[in-house]
Structure 1
Amino acid sequence: MTQVTVVGHPLVQHKLTKMRDKATSTKTFRALMREVATLICYEVTRDLPMEKVEIETPVAPTTAYEIAGKKLVFAPILRAGLGMCEGMLDLVPSARVAHIGLYRDHETLEAIEYYFKAPEDITDRLVIVVDPMLATGHSAIAAIARLKHHGVTNLRFVCLLAARQGVDALRAAHPDVPIWTAAIDETLNDHGYIVPGLGDAGDRTFGTR
């Protein structure tokens, strides 16, 4: 699919399998979420712009490379996105963080916003929206729409696991926003959960199942 990247690295797939297992403990699930997020972050940031800088090593002066421009922003969708955001901050500790609070109405499956906080100059930065699950796509669509309303134009979306319906919905609503995920499952059940999926990522991360 156009602008959709499935990160098939063996370490990512191995850890995802462990996360799918219902016998995996909350502690292990949380650790795996953080690890997988770090690994996916390598792929999402692969094409960040670079610039040359002059430095001195302990041996001699040299020309080297640094990431150019303003620091990027991670925008986790609360609450489950926090588990992935921590792993991405391990890799890019200087990144800014925006918080988008959304919950899903269990009757309509629509996303309802309850919190939004972002850096003042977010429009000048690359913003990576983070949510473990892309199921119906409603939360991702709403979060990205909110960021665009604030003037953000450089956006990417990262999830751990997606349903094909969610990918199609997000691509239709925001075709300019590329997607990275570890896997795409075929369908959703009547409650809007990905099948076979891994259950509720928020509950499994925070032990509220």
Structure 2
Amino acid sequence: MHIHNLSQQNSVLNTFISEIRNVSIQRDRMRFRRNIERIGEILGYEMSKILNYKTVSIETPLGNSSINIIENDIVLCSILRAGVPLHNGLLNYFDAAENAFVSAYRHHTHNPESFEIIVEYLACPNLEGKTLILADPMLATGQSMVSTFEALKPYGAPKSIHLISIIGAQEGVTYLENHFSASTHLWIASIDKTLNDKGYIIPGLGDAGDLSFGEKLQH
């Protein structure tokens, strides 16, 4: 798997990452969502550099201009609910993309420190021969990404796969490397060292879904 860790180079991305991690700033939900969206835009821009392009002629008021534009047939898939702001950021740049949405969550059984990923809702177009962008802001264990991709397989085989996350743990990155093909690309803003005993990223930032939309009731 090709891993593109954007934190290895300094850029304005550092500012947005610092703000979504900051316990004082992240209390502003609108600002938190907007920062997630802006990070999605940066990740999408970096990813766009390796897509396929074709040359087209554009008619301007004063003549014609040749320019290279993306020719990939893109499907953007996000994992609800935390993935919504990230999805919006990517969609700002790939506005012609088709869209897919998956509801996946951690289901704890008897042991609160163990869980399985449950996929309950899925809306997806045909994926055959297309460029799949699978987006989830937090890459903890990696199980959500893998379970989501397994759920998408009946919709066709993508020509290429790009995984996009904002903050991940090294364990999750390794898990993806073991479950996706070598040609898959992972675009990520920062990789943290470890997970705690409940499978949350340390230092991470907390629960991205709760910070975006408010705390959820536990059943």
Do structure 1's residue 161 and structure 2's residue 184 form an aligned pair?
no
For residue 81 of structure 1, the aligned residue among 76, 80, 83 is: 83
Aligned residue in 1 for 2:211: 204
State the secondary structure of the residue aligned to 1:87: helix
TM-superposed CA distance for 1:81, in Å, is 0.9
Change in 2 beyond 3 A, CA 1:37/1:69 = closer
User: 2 CA distance for matches of 1:77 and 1:69?
Assistant: 22
Aligned residue in 1 for 2:54: 51
Instruction: Determine which structure has the larger strand proportion and give its number.
Output: 2
For residue 105 of structure 2, the aligned residue among 103, 114, 130 is: 103
Structure 1 runs, 4 residues or longer, greater than 3 Å off = none
Q: Is the 8 A contact 2:51 2:72 kept in 1?
A: no
Aligned residue in 2 for 1:129: 134
CA deviations 1:38-72 (Å, max 9, x no partner) are 111101121221112223222222332222243x1
For residue 66 of structure 2, the aligned residue among 52, 63, 66 is: 63
Change in 2 beyond 3 A, CA 1:44/1:69 = closer
Aligned residue in 2 for 1:17: 18
For residue 34 of structure 1, the aligned residue among 31, 34, 37 is: 37
Aligned residue in 2 for 1:170: 176
State the secondary structure of the residue aligned to 1:183: strand
Do structure 1's residue 94 and structure 2's residue 100 form an aligned pair?
no
> Quick one: which amino acid aligns to residue 204 of structure 1?
L
Aligned residue in 2 for 1:116: 122
Q: Is the 8 A contact 2:103 2:119 kept in 1?
A: yes
Mark the runs of 5 or more structure 2 residues left unpaired by the alignment.
none
Q: Is the 8 A contact 1:75 1:128 kept in 2?
A: yes
User: 2 CA distance for matches of 1:69 and 1:132?
Assistant: 23
CA deviations 1:93-112 (Å, max 9, x no partner) are 11111011101123432211
User: 2 CA distance for matches of 1:130 and 1:196?
Assistant: 21
User: 1 CA distance for matches of 2:165 and 2:11?
Assistant: 17
Q: TM-score, normalised by structure 1?
A: 0.92
TM-superposed CA distance for 1:152, in Å, is 2.4
User: 1 CA distance for matches of 2:62 and 2:157?
Assistant: 43
User: 1 CA distance for matches of 2:4 and 2:18?
Assistant: 18
Q: TM-score, normalised by structure 2?
A: 0.88
CA deviations 1:12-34 (Å, max 9, x no partner) are 11110110011122121111111
How many residue pairs end up in the alignment? 206
User: 2 CA distance for matches of 1:207 and 1:39?
Assistant: 25
RMSD: 1.5
TM-superposed CA distance for 1:73, in Å, is 1.1
